Amino acid sequence: MRIMQLFIIGLGSLISFTACERPKDEAIGYDHVITVVSDERDWEACESILEQTLGKIYHTPGTEPLYSFERIEASELNNNILNKNILILTRLESESPVTAQVRSMLPDSTLAKIRNNPRGYYYQNDPYARGQALIVVVGKTIADLRSRLQVNQKQIFDFIEKTMFDRNTAFVYRSGEQFELAESYFEQHGYYLRMMHDYVEIENNPQKKLVWLGRDFPYRWLAVSWEKADDSTLEIQLDKLLNSTFGAKLGSIVLNKEYLTVEPIWFKQFSAIKYYGLWESKKEVKGGPFIAYGFYEPIMDRIYLISGIIHAPDKAKMPYIRQMETIIRTFDTKVFESD
């Protein structure tokens, strides 16, 4: 038997689990589905909090959630134990099967520490399968359970996102990648972006400060645009770069400002802005969702905008948006070294 460690956020202590020595299977199911183990009453009290972050809606141009929730009973957990994302919610004072399940997983000493810390909850990578995210939130009452989710929702969101992007990176580059093409951009432009095996270059124009690539079925475009930094704020510079990219640099593509969402984020070591919404063609009745990350990069003293554009009629768009984000997140100012 070997020991798996389950980290307690905000408590600084560790908890032990035992597991068989055989290699773990890969986590199964959809990246965007979170399996919730809870009583119906607890879920009704907590769902609205989780929808603020994990369940937020994207216009694609329909509506698709970032993550969707699938609630199950404690008795169904064994049949779903390999799912990619598992969230367990319960109250210690309730006599429910979910509480009994949690008590069988965690020792009393650990539960006591959680009870005494209003920010305490558990998270663990790969507890039952490779690429899996497990979160356990326990409260004394419904109000306490809601409070723990509320104060920790950003940390929970970041953990689920990181685990998803780690899985997606392996998936996106499973068929190989174009090292020479990516290295050529580093030599020409000073940045590195890991390129999937089937993207083709549409335009590489140093005068326009644009690199534009694409792939089809469904159609996806990836564009890197930049400008020299000036003395104005990051927001002002990125707003100009966003408008010039989706107004001149990409030709017939414009943004629908009615659905544009602007969100400050932390992207690697960069203070960044995330944009998402809908694009439209000026020449055809055609459009779809886009995602873009904008930030200041000090080595080249540039403002960068990395954009992903999707056109996938009659298909769910969020999986493609997430793949584009996975590529965007490989941006670096040094060459990637493969294993």
Pair 16, 103 in one domain: yes
Confidence (pLDDT) at 21:
55
Pair 161, 202 in one domain: no
Q: What angle do CA 318, 323, 324 make, to 5 degrees?
A: 95
Q: Which CATH number does the domain housing residue 269 bear?
A: 3.40.1000.10
Do the domain assignments include residue 58?
A: yes
Contact assessment for residue 84 and residue 133, using Cβ atoms and an 8 Å cutoff: yes
Do the domain assignments include residue 333?
A: no
Domain range enclosing 135: 2-172
Pair 129, 195 in one domain: no
Do the domain assignments include residue 294?
A: yes
DSSP letters for 175-209? T-B-HHHHHHHHHHHS-B---BTT-EEEEEETTTT
Pair 14, 153 in one domain: yes
Confidence (pLDDT) at 281:
93
Question: Number of structural domains, the chain?
Answer: 2
Pair 192, 273 in one domain: yes
Confidence (pLDDT) at 251:
83
Pair 128, 246 in one domain: no
Pair 126, 208 in one domain: no
Tokens 């140093």, residue located:
206
Contact assessment for residue 111 and residue 91, using Cβ atoms and an 8 Å cutoff: no
Do the domain assignments include residue 339?
A: no
**Both tokens of residue 146?**
């809601």
DSSP state of 312: -
The pTM assigned to this predicted structure is: 0.88
Contact assessment for residue 17 and residue 3, using Cβ atoms and an 8 Å cutoff: yes
Pair 15, 132 in one domain: yes
Per-residue tens of pLDDT for the chain, all 339 residues: 333 333 333 333 333 333 445 688 999 999 999 999 999 999 999 999 999 999 999 999 999 999 999 999 999 999 999 999 999 999 988 889 999 999 888 788 888 888 888 889 989 999 999 999 999 999 999 999 999 999 999 999 999 999 999 999 999 999 999 999 999 999 999 999 999 999 999 999 999 999 999 999 899 999 999 999 999 999 999 999 999 999 999 988 999 999 999 999 999 889 999 999 999 998 888 999 999 999 999 989 999 999 999 999 999 999 999 999 999 999 998 766 665
Do the domain assignments include residue 337?
A: no
Pair 200, 241 in one domain: yes
Do the domain assignments include residue 272?
A: yes
- Which letter, b or e, does each residue of 108-139 get, where b requires 16 or more Cβ atoms within 10 Å of its Cβ? eebbebbeeeeebbbbbbebbbebbbbbbbbb
Pair 126, 149 in one domain: yes
Pair 165, 189 in one domain: no
